[in-house]
Amino acid sequence: MTPFQSRLLASAVGLGLVLTLLAALPQAQEPKADKIGPPGAGAGGAFDAEASRRRLATSQFVRRFESFSNGIDLEKELRITAEQKSKLDQVITRVRTESTSSFGARGAAPLPSAADRSKARDFSYERAAKEIRTILTKEQLARMDQIELQEKLQINGLARGLVSGELGKALKLTAEQEAKLQEAETKADEAFRLEMENLRELQLNSLVEAQRKVLGVLTPEQRAEYEKLIGTPLKPDERGLGYGVAGVPGRMRAEGGFGGRGGFGTSPFSRGGRGNAENTPPAPTPPADPKP
């Protein structure tokens, strides 16, 4: 046996002894999971995907009534009556108040933990969702389901939306149709984006022309002083299109006041605001977990 083989054999024997000793040692027990896990956790702290999905769906359902959802006016789409609007206003205003109060009173200590805030928020949304469903009619709730499907199509795209979820089960498209859908969507989307880019340039040019008309009120001397003060004009972009010529005041006038395009709920300004957090009642107290 060569010296190299002797060293190799000794190393193998030594490694075997180490592995034998490790196997003889008592195995460390894994720490037990806490009974209360993070948001979305189920029994024993394990993540519960289905429970998390339900909570998300519930909060999204309520939030649709807080403000415009993808530009959708639910009051108009659902044909909300004056009586229903009054009730929905009360529910949404309370949700906003509870959301603010869940962070604790100003200057109070200790502040609620993240888990406590999450639990209170979930409880608030669950209660609001139940109340909203009792306020709306069956026809209005069915329309809400249709609106939700349309929103998913906007987010996911037609090709993906038509082959998955509820629509996929109902349409039962063939593999050939799915391939054609993807091809058609890609071509149509490219054409649409090109058209929108051309339209954007037209809008930007229109904005510059509109601003020029307003500045036409100035005298030549005033115009020269104006140009001296502002320097080289910035190239307008999408933000400029959003402000238009009249800026924020113009949007307020066009939309019926500050927050005029908001959803249900009251505000110190007008319809659609976030409400006043001063002197608001405390956050709701969710039911306590049953004792083990």
- Where are the alpha helices (H) located in 47-157, listed in sequence order? 49-63, 74-77, 82-101, 114-135, 138-156
The lowest-confidence range among 23-37, 63-77, 178-192, 237-251 is: 23-37
Nearest one of 196, 173, 199 to 184, comparing CA atoms: 173
Q: Tell me the average pLDDT of the chain.
A: 76
State how far the Cα of 84 lies from the Cα of 139, in Å rounded to an integer. Answer: 14
Whole-model pTM: value is 0.59
Burial class (CB in 10 A: 0-12, 13-18, 19+), 77: middle
Residues 6+ apart with CB under 8 A from 226: 215, 218
Contact (CB, 8 A) for 159 and 182:
yes
Contact (CB, 8 A) for 284 and 127:
yes
pLDDT tens-digit readout, 106-136: 555 567 788 888 888 899 999 999 999 999 9
Instruction: Compute, in degrees rounded to 10, the torsion defined by CA atoms 39, 41, 45, 47.
Output: -120
Q: Does the pLDDT value for residue 141 go beyond 90?
A: yes
| In the chain, domain spans | 47-156
The backbone torsions φ and ψ at residue 290, rounded to the nearest 5 degrees and listed phi first, read -65, 140
State how far the Cα of 199 lies from the Cα of 126, in Å rounded to an integer. Answer: 43
Task: Please report the pLDDT score of residue 263 as a whole number.
Answer: 65
State how far the Cα of 270 lies from the Cα of 257, in Å rounded to an integer. Answer: 7
Contact (CB, 8 A) for 67 and 133:
no
State how far the Cα of 86 lies from the Cα of 261, in Å rounded to an integer. Answer: 17
pLDDT tens-digit readout, 228-253: 998 988 887 777 777 788 887 777 77
Q: Which two tokens stand for residue 51?
A: 């429970």
State how far the Cα of 111 lies from the Cα of 117, in Å rounded to an integer. Answer: 10
State how far the Cα of 53 lies from the Cα of 13, in Å rounded to an integer. Answer: 55
